[in-house]
């Protein structure tokens, strides 16, 4: 990946002004230090195919990397270790998910912080499984910024997909999740009923505006205060198609990355309990001038700057 992590220099190279200067391509998990950010690409969209979505998200991880190279480094101790991409062979989604989970658990057991570039939102079950494998006795909170609940029961003969992750998680025990940006026209009553059945909390897209932030903060805090660790996942189709056209399922009435959203988003990032973050559903085949990939890279970079 040496041809990806290249960028613009500002003065003396050894001053490490930009992210590409702080990236180390790595294969040895024993070299992870406490608080290192550790990146995996999940170059998989088999779950999107099974879910009858627009394929192409498997090509996103390297595109997101390219849109991140020139971001400035704010923290003097910032390090990003890049362990490359996980792929899906012979449509075997379950193996790809297991491989990511296994690697994420290694990261967290070394006290690193897990970052994943998707890929389809089937990354959710894999990333969560990695967190739970590392901390099986801890209460894991999940914040899902998404237009969809992704709590559909797998179809017979199809199996798990990009739309089943939270249903799968709920089958393994009590689920502690907050879904932010949910659209009424993107989820059937059955999916709302499933959310209520399993105790999945949610904030509708219509509720995300500046004057309502105190209420939103309270619901975020309710989750943060009642779990041991937090995993944050962002499906890029939560955003309006004008700023995120390159996704597997466009949302023309999606939210914007405006001041209200960025306030609540940074509020989540500031939590000391946050140890895993991913972006999903960036689809370069439908993107325009890398708008979606750039937004995804920017959202990840916000964590690097906290």
Q: Which residues are annotated as a binding site for Mn(2+)?
A: 121, 146, 148, 150, 235, 237
Determine contact, residues 280/233, Cβ cutoff 8 Å.
yes
Query: Based on the number of CB atoms within 10 Å of its own CB, is 133 exposed (0-12), middle (13-18) or buried (19 or more)?
Result: middle
3-state class (DSSP) for residue 113: strand
What DSSP designation does 243 have? T
User: What distance in Å separates the CA atoms of residue 81 and residue 79, rounded to the nearest whole number?
Assistant: 7
The most distant pair of C-alpha atoms in the chain lies apart, rounded to whole Å, by: 59
Query: Based on the number of CB atoms within 10 Å of its own CB, is 97 exposed (0-12), middle (13-18) or buried (19 or more)?
Result: buried
Label residues 54-76 b or e (16+ Cβ within 10 Å = b): bebbbebbbbbbbbbbbbebeee
Binding site: which residues? 121, 146, 148, 150, 235, 237
Q: In sequence order, what are the beta bridge partners of 113? A: 37
DSSP string, 186-225: GS-HHHHHHHHHHT-EEEEGGG-SGGGHHHHHHHHHHHHH
């Amino acid at each position: 990946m040496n041809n990806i992590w290249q960028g613009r220099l500002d003065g003396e190279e050894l001053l490490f002004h930009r992210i590409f200067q702080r990236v180390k391509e790595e294969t040895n998990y024993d070299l992870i230090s406490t608080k290192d950010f550790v990146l995996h690409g999940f170059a998989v969209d088999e779950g999107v195919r099974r879910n009858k979505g627009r394929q192409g998200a498997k090509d996103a991880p390297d595109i997101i990397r390219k849109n991140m190279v020139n971001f400035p480094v704010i923290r003097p101790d910032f390090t990003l270790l890049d362990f490359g991409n996980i792929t899906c062979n012979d449509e075997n989604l379950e193996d790809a998910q297991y491989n990511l989970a296994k690697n994420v658990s290694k990261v967290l057991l070394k006290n690193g912080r897990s970052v994943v570039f998707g890929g389809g939102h089937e990354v959710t079950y894999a990333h969560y499984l990695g967190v739970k494998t590392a901390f099986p006795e801890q209460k894991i909170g999940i914040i899902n910024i998404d237009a969809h609940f992704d709590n559909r029961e797998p179809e017979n003969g199809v199996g798990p997909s990009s739309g089943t992750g939270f249903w799968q998680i709920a089958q393994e025990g009590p689920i502690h999740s907050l879904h932010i940006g949910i659209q009424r026209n993107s989820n059937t009553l059955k999916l709302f009923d499933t959310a209520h059945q399993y105790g999945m909390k949610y904030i509708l897209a219509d509720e995300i505006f500046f004057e309502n932030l105190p209420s939103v903060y309270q619901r975020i805090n309710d989750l943060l205060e009642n779990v041991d660790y937090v995993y944050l996942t962002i499906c890029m189709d939560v955003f309006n198609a004008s700023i995120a056209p390159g996704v597997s399922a466009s949302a023309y009435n999606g939210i914007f990355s405006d001041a209200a959203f960025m306030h609540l988003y940074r509020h989540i990032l500031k939590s000391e309990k946050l140890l895993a973050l991913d972006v999903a559903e960036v689809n370069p085949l439908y993107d325009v001038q890398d708008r979606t990939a750039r937004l995804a890279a920017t959202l990840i970079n916000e964590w690097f700057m906290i």
